[in-house]
Amino acid sequence: MKTFLVVNPRSAGGQTGKRWAEISGQVTRAIGDFGFGFTERPLDAVRLTRDALADGYECIAAVGGDGTVNEVVNGFFADGKAINPQAALGLIPRGTGGDFRRAFGWDLELDSALARLRTDKTEPFDVGLAEYVNFQGEKESRYFANIASFGVSAAVAHEVNTGSKALGGNLSFVWGTVKAMAKYRDRKVRLRVDGGEPEELGITVVAASNGRYFGSGMCVAPKAVTHDGLFDLTVWHDYGLHDFIIKSKGVYNGDHITWNKTRYLQCRTLEAESDEEVFLEMDGEVPGRLPCRISILPGAIRLKV
Ligand SMILES: Nc1ncnc2c1ncn2[C@@H]1O[C@H](COP(=O)(O)OP(=O)(O)OP(=O)(O)O)[C@@H](O)[C@H]1O
């Protein structure tokens, strides 16, 4: 497979760029010739992916974290269609969060990533699509690979992204969580699942999940499968700050799905609106806010496994 690597040199605290000579040498030894491009700013990975697909590359691998995976997945599409539905997505994980890779049990070892790139083994991969309002007040849509969520999770992602990651993945996440949760209160949101009757709930977090993990290792959707044509919907409602903090430890091992103020179901679409400002988070980035419509595109691309 003709392979192109989309490299975020700033991922893993800048170590990806600093260690590129060593990484690229190992990639060449593993798969032979390959093309690559460095991202210079946010959203560059979308353009690099589209250009590489137009140039006939059959496998586009993200070298970076969850944000880079998200942008590469967005680059697989143009005008609402997959550019090449047979093209494969690959990953050399380099990020601080790593929630996408966790769904597959992949570690950060370069050797394991290269073993996946070397084989021709792929499986279908569902892609999420969210339509929402951006911060300029315009309607916008964006694909996601892992999870779209709103509520305190988006408030935390916003805090983590605008703060420093110098503390490392887990510590910066904990610090962002503390700051965001101190300000958060449940928001009234009207939810409509699979076109059914709308229901208003006080939302702590709603997550529409293709993968299983968000927030640097919280197992928000323990039953999610990335090729079942569905997303798993987790709704934590009416918790309030105190209860949520006390219980949040259980989210790391997926225990929360049996709690009484939690709903867990599988669906194809979710519509959400609120009279209050509620941010939307997708794969760790916060591109806008509600109202939103989230849907799943079954097996829209192939994933190197
Ligand atoms: N050259 C660059 N300079 C600054 N930001 C960049 C650059 N290239 C990409 N980005 C942005 O950095 C964001 C985060 O990158 P990425 O996810 O690869 O690394 P990370 O933050 O280390 O990992 P994670 O998202 O898993 O925590 C991406 O969403 C992208 O928009």
Interface confidence, given as ipTM, is 0.95
Percent of the chain with pLDDT over 90: 78
Q: What is the pLDDT of residue 198?
A: 97
Mutate to test the pocket of ligand 1, among 10, 213, 283 (most ligand atoms within 8 A of CB): 10
Please give the mean pLDDT across all residues of the chain. 93
Question: Which atom of ligand 1 lies nearest, measured to the CA of 98?
Answer: 26
Same fold, 3-120 and 127-298: no
How many Å lie between the centroid of ligand 1 and the Cα of residue 145? 15
pTM: 0.94
How many Å lie between the centroid of ligand 1 and the Cα of residue 232? 26
* Residue 68 near ligand 1, beta carbon < 6 Å: yes
* Residue 96 near ligand 1, beta carbon < 6 Å: yes
How many Å lie between the centroid of ligand 1 and the Cα of residue 88? 21
Model confidence at 240, pLDDT cuts 50, 70, 90, reads: confident
**Does pLDDT of 245 surpass 80?**
no
How many Å lie between the centroid of ligand 1 and the Cα of residue 163? 14
Instruction: Give Cβ neighbours of residue 234 (< 8 Å, ≥ 6 apart).
Output: 205, 206, 207, 209, 220, 221, 256, 257, 262, 263, 264
**Residue with CA nearest ligand 1 atom 29:** 67
Model confidence at 83, pLDDT cuts 50, 70, 90, reads: very high
**Does pLDDT of 163 surpass 80?**
no
Mutate to test the pocket of ligand 1, among 5, 6, 8 (most ligand atoms within 8 A of CB): 8
* Residue 232 near ligand 1, beta carbon < 6 Å: no
pLDDT digits (tens, 9 = 90+) for 39-62: 999 999 999 999 999 999 999 999
Q: What is the pLDDT of residue 79?
A: 93
**Residue with CA nearest ligand 1 atom 7:** 41
**Does pLDDT of 110 surpass 90?**
yes
Tell me, letter by letter, the H, E, C secondary structure of the chain: CCEEEEECCCCHHHHHHHCHHHHHHHHHHHHCCCEEEECCCCCHHHHHHHHHHHCCCCEEEEEECHHHHHHHHHHCEECCEECCCCCEEEEEECCCCCHHHHCCCCCCCHHHHHHHHHCCCEEEEEEEEEEEEECCCCEEEEEECCEEEEEHHHHHHHHHHHCCCCCCHHHHHHHHHHHHHHHCCCEEEEEEECCCCCEEEEEEEEEEECCCEECCCEECCCCCCCCCCCEEEEEEECCHHHHHHHHHHHHCCCHHHHCCCEEEEEECEEEEECCCCCEEEECCEEEEEEEEEEEEEEEEEEEEC
Question: Which atom of ligand 1 lies nearest, measured to the CA of 100?
Answer: 26
**Does pLDDT of 203 surpass 70?**
yes
Q: What is the pLDDT of residue 247?
A: 76
Q: What is the pLDDT of residue 147?
A: 98
Cα–Cα distance measured from residue 188 to residue 192, given in angstroms and rounded to the nearest whole number? 13
Least confident window among 163-172, 243-252, 287-296:
163-172
How many Å lie between the centroid of ligand 1 and the Cα of residue 65? 7
How many Å lie between the centroid of ligand 1 and the Cα of residue 167? 16
Q: Hey, what are 35's tokens?
A: 């093309």
Q: Please give the CATH topology (third level) of the domain spanning 127-298.
A: Tumour Suppressor Smad4 (2.60.200)
Q: What is the pLDDT of residue 157?
A: 87
* Residue 176 near ligand 1, beta carbon < 6 Å: no
CATH code of the region 3-120: 3.40.50.10330
How many Å lie between the centroid of ligand 1 and the Cα of residue 102? 18
Question: What residue spans define the domains of the chain?
Answer: 3-120, 127-298
